[in-house]
Chains A and B, each alone.
Chain A
Amino acid sequence: MQIKPILSALRRHKAGTFLIAMQIALTLAIVCNALFIIQQRLAHLSEPTGVDEQNILVIQNEWVGSSTPAQADARIREDLRVLRELPGVADATASNSYPLRGSGWDDGVKLKADQLQDSSGATIYFGDERFLGTLGLKLAAGRNFRAEEITGMDVRDRLAPPVVMVTRALADKLFPGSDAVGQTIYLAGSPTTIVGVVDLLQAQSVDRWASAFAYRSVIVPRRLGISLGGFYIVRAMPGQLQDVMRAAPKALFANNPRRVINDEDGVLSFKEVRARAYERDRGMAILMGVICLVLLAITAAGIVGLTSFWVGQRRKQIGVRRALGATRQDILHYFMTENLLISVGGVLAGMLLAVAINLWLVTRFEMQRLSLLYLLGGVVILLLLGQGAVLAPAMRASRVPPVEAPRSV
């Protein structure tokens, strides 16, 4: 196939050629960046929490009326007993928060008492000796809390636990290359000893502001005995989650009615917790996907429209070529190659534009650098799209009969 005659023909259609190339360039730039955003959001929302998500539910409990810290602590222990005795419940624990909850108590961890800047941020989880077992967390080193280490705590108390457990992500950050078990850290100003390292436990927020300390969590041996209430985390036996979700609030109310468990979101399965935490990311990914599809469809339609016009305009020339011996194949190839030339021009401009847009997004929207793979993927998609779109008009052109030429000259 000779390229020169195609180029000289295109020179006579500068405006149309330029428009298709520009449309391809813009589409490529947007599609690349949109695909990249989709991938980032999807990667974010499929990060593991380390929790046995299938079988876990979370109950938010608030007490009615005030009580002393000791009374509140007794009530929590009573509730835990009720929950653990329910049929279908594997285990239950009380905490101030849970992974993916969105907000809660985050604090700085220091290695020395007089340090100015924190060594790391961390999510603070309250947990008893059954916290690990209930959430299905794996202990990587050291030991779990002992029952006698767990004490009740009021908001007015200072958090000064003698021992804590940390996640491996935090241990690696604080003590890279050495064993964290037995080390001393400073939490909320007081020293405490690490007794155990948990394999994997996500922080309570997965928003971007908390990404600096993702997976860095501290578990303190405390029960938050405040009148405001807290969370019960319950693990159901496999397959019995729905039954437990229905039975648990009933059992709690039967035991002590002076409480509020919200109808709407007082009892959540961990699946719902995950869906809520990543709602925004999923919405954005879907939106980007829809925009990409519509954009590709519109660009394809534009190529079909303009090429059809060109085919109609050149019927005579095509007829002459056919009469002079060009085969149908030749005509088909002519239009396909023409489109390929325009598309290549378009994607070259589009690659530059895509990188430019990405750099701008990096500065304005805290995005990451576009990976080359997405650029190449976008190029392939658009070249295929162009060839696919031009196929129908090109086939029509190849069917122009040779007799058309002499008739109208």
Chain B
Amino acid sequence: MFGYYLDLAIRSLRRNRVLTALMVVAIAAGIGASMTTLTVMHLLSGDPVPTRSNTLFYPQVDPDTSLTEHGEPADVMDYHSAVDLWRSHRADRETLVATAGAKLRAIDVRQPSLMIRVLATTADFFPMFDVPFQYGGGWQAADDESRARVAVISAQLNDKLFGGANSVGRSVRVRGSEVRIVGVLRPWRPSPQFYEVAGGRFSSGNTAGYYARPEDVMLPFFTGVEVAGDTFDVFNCWRVPDNFMHLPESPCSWVAMWVQLGSPAKVSGYARFLAGYAVQQKRLGRFTHADNTRLRGLMQWLDYNRVVPSDVRLQAWLAFAFLAVCLFNTIGLLLAKFLRRSGEIGVRRALGASRRAVFAQCLVEAGLIGLLGGMGGWLLTLLGLWLVRRQPAAYADLVHLDPLMFLTTFALAIAASLLAGLLPAFRASRVAPGLQLKTL
């Protein structure tokens, strides 16, 4: 039966090519626009550590001693609090994160200095976030405290400096200090660059920067503090520092911390520990707002920071409104098309076709238009994504059509056209056989 309907549908579509083309183009345009924005949304709002995002947590305390009103605690911690918490070792795994810009020069490689981004972190960073290695591996836990002069570098930097060869054991100079490479990462591009996300509530939706590439050089935390000195990125200072920019003692927040907690019991235990720490610090006179601590999960933290840029969200809404207009358009045209064939349908009904058969036949025709529109939509989506990749946004290089989104394109196109076909098909199936025969 389906084959017969398909044959009828193809004949019908060929009969009025302009109208068919109009419907296919409308569906293709709607699908192209919505799938382009949906793909970008899908890539930007995904889970950056799918294997264990539900065990990763982001502790926050409120070290701000100024008298101004406090709402949420600072997005990242001051050095003192972060290092205290890290040294307590109360979580399964825990890591500190701070970033800086620095000049880098490879030793024995004749290349000019590069400006790169440096991540100062601790040994747990790599196993905790499933960071993949190409050569070597992360440093040992002891290296953090002993300020070992070691580094892990990105695949991209390894390609640039050493042509992609195994560079473990070679050295680079970061801000004039020599560090030995112990590991080279495989290409690693979490989306978003979650471990650095902070301050989303102040960004007015301009959050494309959260999708930047990870840093090129990763140093043990205390090595980094020694090497990068006063050049770390500071989130905020709650009063003017006495010794401008001597960061470890400054009244500034610039170190983020992540903990891994394997069970709900551990999570509530850590939250209690965090609250206790704040109370103790208040007693010591270092904090003024002790009850202002948070322990958000990774996805919760990303939500709180509204990581998906507002322009991307706005575009997605716009695209779906666009698709809605295209659908109304298609409904109208299908209605015209089916009812124009009232005579033909009347004959089929008089010859014994049931209402259901007419309905099914019309829907097959609508579905076929959806399939054609889906193909056009797929091509337009590829074009749209190509245009997005040419944008200067930090996430541009992430954008591609994955198999899931490829299938969604066709599913959405066919679903949309079937939806558009429902009313016209219903109306067509109500055509009374007798009345139409009379007018033939």
Residues of A within 8 A of B (CB): 15-16, 19-20, 22-23, 26-27, 29-30, 34, 62, 64-66, 116-117, 155-159, 188-189, 207-209, 228, 260, 262, 276, 279-280, 283-284, 287-288, 291, 294-295, 298-299, 301-302, 305-306, 308-310, 312-313, 357, 361, 364-366
Contact = CB atoms under 8 A, between A and B. Distances in A.
Assign chain B's interface to a size class.
35 or more
A283 B314 CA distance: 13
Given A23-B325, A306-B336, A312-B340, A301 B22 contact: yes
B315 A287 contact: yes
B231 interface: yes
Nearest to B30: A298
B318 interface: yes
Interface string B273-316: 00000000000000000000000000000000000001101110
Given A228-B231, A260-B103, A291-B33, A19 B335 contact: yes
B333 interface: yes
10 contacts: A15-B427, A27-B325, A156-B246, A157-B244, A207-B204, A262-B115, A302-B333, A306-B332, A306-B333, A365-B310
B265 interface: no
The 3 A-B pairs with the shortest beta carbon distances in the complex, nearest first, are: A309-B336, A208-B204, A302-B329
B340 A309 contact: yes
Contacts of B12: none
A343 B115 CA distance: 60
Contact of B311 (A15, A20, A284): A284
A94 to B, nearest CB: 19
A172 B177 CA distance: 49
Contacts of B313: 364-365
B29 A298 contact: yes
A365 B205 contact: yes
A23 B329 contact: yes
Contact of A294 (B29, B208, B246, B393): B29
B329 A301 contact: yes
Contacts of A29: 321
B67 A116 contact: yes
B314 A365 contact: yes
A13 to B, nearest CB: 9
B250 to A, nearest CB: 11
A366 B230 contact: no
Contacts of A287: 315
The B contact surface, by secondary structure, is helix
A100 B112 CA distance: 29
B245 interface: yes
Contacts of A65: 176
Given A155-B244, A156-B243, 7 more contacts: A19-B335, A22-B328, A23-B328, A26-B328, A188-B240, A280-B392, A305-B336
B244 A19 contact: no
Contacts of A364: 313
B391 to A, nearest CB: 6
B324 interface: yes
B195 to A, nearest CB: 21
B258 to A, nearest CB: 25
A19 B33 contact: no
A114 to B, nearest CB: 11
B235 interface: no
Contacts of A26: 321, 324-325, 328
Nearest to A302: B329
Contacts of A207: 204, 206
A279 B392 contact: yes
B26 A62 contact: no
Contacts of B335: 15-16, 19, 306
Contacts of B112: 260
A298 B326 contact: yes
A301 B26 contact: yes
A262 B393 CA distance: 20
Contact of B204 (A283, A295, A308, A366): A366
Contacts of B203: 209
A30 B322 contact: yes
Contacts of A62: 103, 115
Given A64-B113, A65-B176, A209-B202, A30 B340 contact: no
A80 B329 CA distance: 64
Contacts of A260: 103, 112-113, 115
A262 B112 CA distance: 10
Contacts of A20: 332
Contact of B332 (A19, A30, A156): A19
B322 A295 contact: yes
B289 to A, nearest CB: 15
Given A23-B332, A291-B33, A299-B325, A66 B115 contact: no
B379 interface: no
A278 to B, nearest CB: 11
Which of the listed residues B240, B246, B336 has the most CB atoms from chain A within 10 Å of its own CB?
B336
Contacts of A310: 336
B331 interface: yes
A189 B238 CA distance: 12
B41 interface: no
Contacts of A280: 206, 208, 311, 392-393
A30 B115 contact: no
B423 interface: yes
Contact of B245 (A116, A156, A209): A156
B26 A298 contact: yes
Interface in B71-92: none
A358 to B, nearest CB: 13
